[in-house]
Amino acid sequence: MLYYLFEYLDKTLDIPGTGVFQYITFRSALALILSLTLSTIYGKKVINFLRNQQVGETVRELGLEGQTQKAGTPTMGGLIIIFATLIPVLLLTKLNNIYIILLIVTTLWMGTIGFIDDYIKIFKKDKQGLKGIFKVIGQVGLGIIVGSVLYFSPAVTVREKLAKPITFNQTENAISQPAKEIKSTITTIPFTKNNELEYAQILKPFTDDYQNWAWLVFIPIVIFIITAVSNGANLTDGIDGLAAGTSAISVLAIGIFTFISGNIILSNYLNVMYIPNSGEMTVFISAFVGALIGFLWYNSYPASVFMGDTGSLTIGGIIAVLAISVRKEMLLPVLCAIFFDESASVIIQVTYFKYTKKRFGEGRRVFLMSPLHHHYQKKGYHESKIVTRFWIVTILLAIVAIVTLKLR
């Protein structure tokens, strides 16, 4: 909203200094400061409200150290992340940008699913919360919306690569841009020579008209990624500060990719796919990172609030949509390795337990407990040490992901 106000002040009234709102870097910095301020200052008021409403966490007896002390800690703190993200986004972004619209829809959609789940757990006293099938239906629904918009919307394009480089005409102070914007399902594959994959090519052996049927591949992939990442984030949210901290690092790395992909000069210099209008997502990412860091102020050990499914499902959904929009979804196993490791530990544990129970008559375990962070707790590591080490691993993997810009 402020963007349009300052655009009017700059272009119509020609007031000096108001043109600064045209710069993504300025609005991104402002969004970061605003979201960080909102989440730290007003976050306390939200926590007090949740405490007064007796929105406390019910802790299952798992035999973990310090577990009983967490009983009664306010949950549904993901509301802090949501409002601290959306307010700066609504104020500082171009609200007609297709990517911003998708991200706002994702935030509200996944936030609603998580909120309903937490509401059932707390107020209906049902520890199972929202049934898994309804969560999956919600995730699939969002995947269909996101995939359909990204595939069919004429506003979602990529810049066609040319053998001839883009040049800058100093006389006319303009960029020579002979390339055209095209509709494509092309994406980036790291660590390969020609680091791009066209999803439509998967259908090439089956039909000559494969370009028109690419949505049959693209939309299911989007659904799978959104479901996998949001569930991974949900499983990671098990100890104080783990999900918020690792997510902030991963999102920051995606923000670097987004800024480069949305800038025609930088994308050309680094030979990265240029995605028109995607740079606006940098403002959203800045607000999101600020909200996560601000939430971490209260969620770090010992936590004053838990994010609940309201926060974890929202975080996972946003990360997935960001990566898909900027055509970096193939980097998610690196950027969100912690999420996938947590999910894999649960899958391995459950599968092996059922297999051994069927074969030997008693269930056996690979890990002391799953998800993975509980395994280390059982081994005697303090949760703050586990969280810090997981952060360090995420930072390392984020650097590896960024390095793939030049490794090909």
User: For 288-296, what is the mean pLDDT?
Assistant: 96
What residues make up the domain containing 311? 22-403
Domain contains 3: no
**What is the DSSP secondary structure assignment for residue 38, as one 8-state letter?**
I
Domain contains 35: yes
Domain contains 5: no
pLDDT tens for residues 64-108? 665 666 777 888 899 999 999 999 999 999 999 999 999 999 999
CB 250 within 8 A of CB 319: yes
User: How far apart are the C-alpha atoms of 28 and 24, rounded to whole Å?
Assistant: 6
User: How far apart are the C-alpha atoms of 147 and 288, rounded to whole Å?
Assistant: 22
Number of domains in the chain: 1
Report the candidate in 20, 6, 39, 97 with the shortest Cα–Cα distance to residue 286.
Answer: 39
Domain contains 398: yes
Give me the helices (H) in 300-364, please: 308-325, 332-335, 337-360
pLDDT at 122 (0 to 100): 87
Domain contains 408: no
Domain contains 337: yes
Handedness of CA 22, 26, 28, 34 (dihedral sign): negative
Handedness of CA 287, 293, 294, 296 (dihedral sign): positive
List beta partners, residue 158. Answer: 182
Domain contains 2: no
Domain contains 11: no
pLDDT tens for residues 146-155? 999 999 999 9
pLDDT band, residue 11 (cuts 50/70/90): confident
User: What is the value of pTM for the model shown?
Assistant: 0.92
3-state helix, strand, coil in the chain (%, to 5): 65, 5, 30
